[in-house]
């Protein structure tokens, strides 16, 4: 399954979040989108991630020296139900200390990761929260990013497509009623504790079309 099929799946998932009679029942949208995601038997994604910074010294907090920084990674993700295989490969970069190749997989019982740079492999039966082989912004989970598990207790927790299709993914989460304004439905609910502060999550959805992309977190003192 190539890029074209992946885009079709992403559009279908976003559309399912947006489709509901009257556009008012956000809970029904969420439940339908999760059912649609679970109905996908297998999926394959290959994507390129490019970063370019005009002045590399800004990465170290040093005065600018005018030297640009760039790097390009290729991410690959293959999922079949809860099972998956992921990899990250460096295609090009202006620095020599960039990780060049990392792979990870879950076969239903064991998590395996391989660092090609260090020639080091690990295997575990316990849940692995994330590693360099996986893209944190995989397009398959974009519609569900507001359910990210990143917190002070688990700063490396990554939202995977295999998590989204798990039966206990939302743990009975009930979304608050949306408040309508300017053609949008706005919801606000407590988020995780980040940097020792409880955050609030704000989401806005269009009533009749696809949900408005984006989310913001604000500290709740």
How far, in Å, are 23, 136, 148, 177, 210 from residue 186 at the CA level?
12, 25, 18, 9, 14
pLDDT value of residue 62: 64
To the nearest whole number, what is the mean pLDDT of the chain? 76
What are the tens digits of pLDDT across the range 17-44? 544 433 447 788 888 888 888 888 788 8
pLDDT value of residue 182: 75
pLDDT value of residue 181: 75
pLDDT value of residue 20: 42
pLDDT value of residue 21: 37
pLDDT value of residue 64: 59
The pTM of the full predicted model, rounded to 2 decimals, is 0.66
pLDDT value of residue 212: 42
Distance CA 15, CA 168 (A): 23
Instruction: Retrieve residue 105's tokens.
Output: 């997989």
Distance CA 93, CA 81 (A): 34
pLDDT value of residue 110: 92
User: What are the mean pLDDT values of the chain's consecutive 10-residue runs (221 residues total)?
Assistant: 46 48 64 85 88 76 72 91 90 87 91 90 84 80 81 82 82 78 78 81 65 38 22
pLDDT value of residue 207: 63
């Amino acid at each position: 399954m190539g890029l074209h099929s992946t885009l079709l799946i992403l559009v279908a998932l976003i559309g399912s979040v947006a489709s509901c009679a009257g556009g008012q029942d956000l809970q029904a949208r969420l439940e339908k989108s999760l059912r649609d995601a679970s109905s996908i038997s297998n999926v394959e994604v290959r994507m390129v991630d490019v970063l370019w910074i005009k002045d590399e010294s800004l990465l170290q907090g040093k005065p600018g020296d005018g030297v640009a920084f760039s790097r390009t990674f290729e991410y690959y993700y293959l999922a079949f139900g809860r099972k998956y295989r992921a990899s990250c490969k460096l295609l090009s970069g202006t620095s020599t200390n960039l990780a060049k190749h990392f792979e990870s997989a879950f076969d239903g019982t064991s998590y395996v990761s391989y660092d090609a740079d260090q020639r080091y492999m690990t295997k575990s039966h316990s849940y692995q929260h994330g590693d360099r082989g996986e893209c944190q912004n995989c397009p398959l989970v974009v519609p569900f990013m507001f359910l990210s598990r990143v917190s002070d207790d688990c700063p490396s927790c990554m939202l995977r497509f295999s998590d989204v299709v798990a039966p206990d993914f939302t743990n009975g989460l009930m979304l608050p009623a949306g408040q309508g304004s300017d053609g949008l439905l706005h919801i606000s609910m407590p988020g995780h504790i980040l940097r020792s502060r409880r955050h609030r999550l704000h989401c806005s959805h269009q009533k009749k079309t696809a949900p408005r992309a984006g989310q913001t977190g604000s500290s709740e003192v």
